[in-house]
């Protein structure tokens, strides 16, 4: 159990005089679902932004399977099968659901620069896209415009785009935000299935504690840009500090 897919060493990032991430050390184990929890402003999203190359750290290094990826741009990271989803909806509103998934798949198969063939005529792509749409159960809506989907469906699409490049490591930023219980349940079992079937390592930032505890194999607790503690859901539930952080909240 001591193999590591992603390891972070002394990561630091501050905006002006506010330190968002303060010297984080972290090792992620593969093929499990890890959750990052913590109160607002704990630096969870910043952490993901740093790893996925949207922000650049001032100090520290990030290693993916022992390889330094600290300053790689986002698109290069995706090529290394590290993807993410966004907390604020970030899909292609004027494209159909189908095309939304088509984009990542095309670039995965290195076909996104083909300029003469119609994008729908790539059988392999179409098949793959349909498969993913199946997984996120949007197949029936595939010809709708993404911008016209219901909120829940848009979250699912968000997820779909994130998993489309068949990632080894996938960060999900509040996948269930603004979903009704049934939808988030759907998300939950979807993530679980992918984790087991596709051997994808998931890192989930989540506020919905029920989801977190029923989902994760490992939980990391952050506060004020630092890692408070990490452990199995059971341990975390018992942990004093965590209780203090989540004062009053029922774990």
Q: Which residues bind another protein (CB under 8 A)?
A: 52-54, 73-75, 78-79, 83-84, 86, 90-96, 98-99, 102-104, 106-108, 111-120, 122, 143, 145, 147-148, 161-162, 164-165
Whichever of 86 and 218 has its CB closer to another protein, that residue is 86
Q: How far is the CB of 123 from another protein (least distance, A)?
A: 10
Whichever of 43 and 104 has its CB closer to another protein, that residue is 104
Q: How far is the CB of 68 from another protein (least distance, A)?
A: 19
193: how many CB neighbours lie within 10 A of its CB? 11
Q: How far is the CB of 93 from another protein (least distance, A)?
A: 4
DSSP codes of every residue in 126-180: HHHHHHHHHHTT-GGGTTSBGGGS-HHHHHHHHHHHHHTT--SEEEEESTTTT--
Q: How far is the CB of 132 from another protein (least distance, A)?
A: 12
Whichever of 114 and 193 has its CB closer to another protein, that residue is 114
Q: How far is the CB of 200 from another protein (least distance, A)?
A: 15
Whichever of 106 and 169 has its CB closer to another protein, that residue is 106
Contact 93, 146 (CB under 8 A): yes
Which burial class, exposed, middle or buried, applies to 140 when counting CB atoms under 10 A from its CB (0-12, 13-18, 19+)?
A: exposed
Whichever of 43 and 160 has its CB closer to another protein, that residue is 160
Residue 55 neighbours by CB under 8 Å, 6+ apart? 13, 46, 49
Q: CA–CA separation, 214 vs 189, rounded Å?
A: 10
């Amino acid at each position: 159990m001591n193999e590591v897919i992603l390891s972070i060493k002394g990561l630091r990032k501050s905006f002006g005089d506010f330190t968002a991430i303060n010297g984080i050390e972290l090792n992620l184990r593969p093929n499990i679902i890890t959750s990052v929890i913590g109160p607002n402003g704990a630096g969870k999203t910043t952490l993901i932004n740093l790893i996925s190359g949207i922000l650049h750290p001032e100090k520290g290094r990030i290693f993916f399977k022992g390889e330094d990826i600290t300053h790689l741009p986002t698109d290069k990271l995706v090529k290394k099968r590290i993807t993410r989803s966004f907390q604020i909806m970030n899909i292609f509103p004027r494209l159909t659901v189908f095309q939304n998934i088509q984009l990542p798949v095309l670039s995965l198969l290195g076909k996104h620069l083909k300029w003469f063939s119609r994008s729908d005529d790539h059988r392999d792509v179409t098949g793959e896209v349909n498969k993913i749409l199946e997984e996120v159960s949007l197949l029936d809506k595939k010809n709708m415009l993404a911008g016209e989907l219901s909120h829940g469906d848009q979250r699912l699409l968000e997820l779909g785009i994130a998993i489309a490049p068949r990632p080894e490591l996938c960060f999900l930023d509040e996948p269930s935000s603004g979903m009704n219980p049934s939808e988030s349940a759907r998300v939950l079992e979807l993530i679980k299935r992918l984790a087991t079937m596709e051997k994808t390592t998931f890192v989930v930032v989540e506020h919905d504690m029920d989801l977190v505890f029923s989902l994760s194999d490992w939980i990391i607790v952050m506060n004020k840009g630092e890692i408070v503690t990490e452990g199995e859901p059971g341990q975390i539930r018992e942990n004093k500090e965590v209780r203090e952080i989540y004062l009053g909240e029922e774990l």
